[in-house]
Amino acid sequence: MTMNNHTDASVIEAIALRKSYGTHDVLKGLDLSLTRGEVVALIGPSGSGKSTFIRCLNMLEIPTEGTIRFRQKKVGDRFRDNGEEIGIGTLRRHVGMVFQHFNLFPHKTVLQNVTEGPIIVCKTSKREAEERAMDLLAQVGLAEKHAAYPNHLSGGQKQRVAIARALAMQPEVLLLDEVTSALDPELVGEVLAVIRRLAEEGMTMAIVTHEMAFAADVANRVLFLDQGVIAEAGSANDVILNPQNPRLQAFVARFRG
Ligand SMILES: Nc1ncnc2c1ncn2[C@@H]1O[C@H](COP(=O)(O)OP(=O)(O)OP(=O)(O)O)[C@@H](O)[C@H]1O
Ligand SMILES: [Mg+2]
């Protein structure tokens, strides 16, 4: 844990964020501020802009308008830091992301997948990177798989490696985009358990998920994205358990099964 006195200050923020592809306005002015240790769940119909939004948060997509702020500083459009502005490189180094499809390097072992970022990007020594990686693999229950290659792992195991790989960079914020939706149902629980523990340990996270029960359980705040805007925001109790907006009611009913 980093020492920080501004515990209620925003770690990452989106302000009046807009993203268009040609004439298609996907995000139509979104605001979000994540404070340290906060867990926000993003729910919403397919195509509502959830992935676009979290990809904008770490500048994998460059917003058409609006601002991303990290540690209360504007993120610029250059890779390097520049006076008052944080560079995209710095932002990405501190904001980890895990996707629906694991994106592990197939020709590297589990251990090499987890140590690659720290060694290449952070210039951590191989020994230290490996020690930390073994710790993280133990935390996600995969220490004994460190020498295996990704194609010898189950989907749930691969996704837990992907989470360990993101954590190896010691991110301040973790962005998770439907990390369980490509998994067989019996493998979902083991991945959600890892995320739940991260939440309990105080990791700041934005989680896109269709797992309503999980979102209700783990999130401090739930946002309902609909047609490119945040149509509802509030506690899980308000948004998922007692939705008022009819489109949200219909959405939640569909996923509660
Ligand atoms: N690179 C792109 N070029 C053009 N249109 C795009 C691009 N990426 C996304 N879109 C469009 O933006 C809209 C929002 O997509 P996005 O992937 O953010 O939705 P989502 O809420 O994550 O949906 P899902 O639940 O299916 O993952 C969609 O209509 C999509 O077709
Ligand atoms: Mg998506």
Per-residue pLDDT reduced to its tens digit, 97-142: 998 887 899 999 999 999 999 999 889 999 999 999 999 999 999 9
Residue nearest to atom 28 of ligand 1 (CA): 47
Query: What distance in Å separates the CA atoms of residue 239 and residue 224, rounded to the nearest whole number?
Result: 8
Residue 144 class from Cβ within 10 Å (0-12 exposed, 13-18 middle, 19+ buried)?
exposed
Instruction: Give distance in angstroms: CA of 46 to centre of ligand 1.
Output: 8
Residue nearest to atom 6 of ligand 1 (CA): 21
Q: What local confidence, expressed as pLDDT, does residue 5 receive? A: 47
Instruction: For the chain, give the mean pLDDT.
Output: 92
Q: What local confidence, expressed as pLDDT, does residue 57 receive? A: 96
Residues in contact with ligand 1 by the CB-under-6-Å rule are: 21, 24, 26, 44, 46-52
Fold of 10-254: Rossmann fold (3.40.50)
Q: Say what the pTM is.
A: 0.93
Residue type, 87: G
Residue nearest to atom 24 of ligand 1 (CA): 46
Mean pLDDT by 10 residues, the chain (257 residues): 57 97 96 96 95 95 96 92 91 93 92 96 94 95 96 94 95 95 89 94 95 92 96 93 92 80
The residue whose CB lies within 8 Å of the most ligand 1 atoms, and thus the one to mutate among 50, 53, 57, 179, is 50
Q: What local confidence, expressed as pLDDT, does residue 1 receive? A: 41
Query: What distance in Å separates the CA atoms of residue 238 and residue 33, rounded to the nearest whole number?
Result: 19
Residue 46 class from Cβ within 10 Å (0-12 exposed, 13-18 middle, 19+ buried)?
exposed
